[in-house]
Structure 1
Amino acid sequence: MRLLVEVKALCDAVYDLKYHHKLQGFLYRLLKDTAYSNLHDRRGYKFFSFSNIFPPEDMREGDVRRFLIASPDPALIETFREQLAHVDRVNVGDMSFSLQRVSVLRPRIGRSCTLVAATPIIVRIPKANYRKYGIEPPKDYPYVYWRKRYPFEAFIKQLEDNLIKKFKAFHGEAIEPTPIFEEFVFRKQVCNHIIVKGREVKVFGSLWTFIFKNLYKDKRRIIQFGLETGFGELNSLGFGFINPITEKKDAPRN
């Protein structure tokens, strides 16, 4: 379940590429004095994700922009919707908007589907797995971010493990590790700058397209869950946001 939030620029502004913690802060403030008011401080997974503000371009006063909020928890999405009903203005750093409308979306995946990473997927490989994947970092790091110079196997395995752990934590169900990703297309590697405890740090991510065919019930549930909670790590900072690609039907012939 997700929300499509439409906003209108109140003034000319340069698009802020370091929007992550600022938009996250806006969302957490919406949860103040609700049943989710302690979500920010809660240990473990947050079970929500959000897109970038799109299109990601400098804006003029009056330009329309949008962003999406997604979660496998319908009550959390409903809380966001209720709180947004009382919002007139959305401030994300130096970007200021008036709130125009909020729409509820319920995308469902079928037996076959194509998913695209709308924001970079972050995957960290722990030191314990360096030898397994033949990784030799220049320093004794506790983990490394997956980058294209590392084996694709490392990315997919860590991605699957992360998704299964989140699924178990949310549903409280025991589920056996299983290969999830069938076909995948690497699009590009990216480096983002985020603010952590007042300090700017780099995170390395990657953009992918995932193709699924003949999904059976349990596997479809896992993929549907990933569509809403996000793929990889740092989902509540806006990373790993996933969109379904809707196939265009051929135009009718005369």
Structure 2
Amino acid sequence: MRLLVELRALYNSIYDLKYHHKLQGFLYGLLKDTAYRDLHNRHGYKFFAFSNIFPPLDMHTGDVRHFLVSSPNPDLIRVFKERLESVERMFVGDMAFSIEKVSVLSPRIGRSCVLVATTPIVVRIPKANYGKYGISPPKDYPYVYWRKRYPFETFIKQLEENLFKKFKAFYGENVKHTPLFEEFVFRKQVCNHIIIKGREVKVFGSLWTFTFRNLYKDKRKIIQFGLETGFGELNSLGFGFINPITEKKNAPRN
């Protein structure tokens, strides 16, 4: 499930490209005095993701913007919705908005679908896998972010492994590890500057489009889960947010 939040700018402001930890902080603040009040302190996966505030342009007073928050946990979505509807304003750094409307969306994937990463997918390759993928970093890093200079196979394998781990952690069940991503298009590499523990760090990610055909039951369940929890790592910081692309009826085909 996911929420579509409609916002209206309260005053002129420049779009903040370093919004990640600020929007994350706002969302965690909504969970105060709820059953999820300690979610930000829990180790491991948080099982929610959020989009950027879009369109990502500088704002004038009254401009309309939106953002999405998704989770495979419907109760967490319910709590987010209730709390969003109880507050009138949202502040993300120097950007300020009134909250106009909160809508529940339940996109479901079919046997065939196209999914697009609307925020960069982050994949970290641990040191133990350097030899496996022929990676030789310039320094003895404990991990490196996948970048386009590394094999594409590395990205896909790490992405699949991450999704299977999150699926098991959420549902408590094992599924057969089979290839999930067989048709995909790399769009571009992105470097984001984010604030972690008061320090600005670089995070490398990439934008992709994924096409799935003839999804069977288990595979469809895993991809549906990924649609709501996010692909890759750092989902609760706004990375790896996934949207389905729906083809309009009677739309011209290329």
With the shorter chain as reference, the TM-score category is over 0.9
Q: Which amino acid in the other structure matches residue 202 of structure 2?
A: K
Answer yes or no: is 1:195 the counterpart of 2:177.
Answer: no
Q: Secondary structure at the match of 1:21?
A: helix
1:226-237 to 2 correspondence within 5 Å? 226-237=226-237
Q: How many Å separate the matches in 1 of 2:172 and 2:4? A: 29
Give a deviation string over 1:138-172, Cα, whole Å, max 9, x none: 00000000000000000000000000000000000
Q: What residue number does 2:112 align with? A: 112
Provide the residue aligned with 1:103 in structure 2: 103
C-alpha deviation, 1:28, in angstroms? 0.2
Query: Within 2, Cα distance between the matches of 1:92 and 1:41?
Result: 21
> Do the aligned partners of 2:122 and 2:146 also contact (CA within 8 Å) in 1?
yes
**Structure 2 residue matching 1:18: 3-state secondary structure:** coil
Paired-residue identity, %: 79
* Residue pair 2:48, 2:229 contacting (<8 A) in 1 also: yes
Structure 2 equivalent of residue 211 of structure 1 = 211
Task: Summarize the alignment of residues 69-80 of structure 1 with structure 2, pairs less than 5 Å apart.
Answer: 69-80=69-80
Q: 1:85 aligns to what SS in structure 2? A: helix
User: In structure 2, what is the equivalent of residue 225 of structure 1?
Assistant: 225
The residue identity in structure 1 corresponding to 2:114 is T
8 Å CA contact 2:51, 2:118 repeated in 1? yes
**Matched residue, 2:175:** 175
Whichever residue aligns with residue 42 of structure 1, its letter is R
Moved over 6 A (4+): none
2:12 corresponding residue in structure 1: 12
Instruction: State the superposition RMSD in angstroms.
Output: 0.9
Structure 1 gaps of 5+ residues are: none
How many residues are treated as equivalent by the alignment? 252
Aligned to 1:91: 91
SS in 2 for 1:99: strand
Q: What displacement does 1:251 show?
A: 5.3
1:16 maps to a residue whose letter is D
Runs (5+) with no aligned partner, structure 2: none
Deviations 1:161-186 (A, max 9, x none): 00000000000001222110010000
Aligned to 1:3: 3
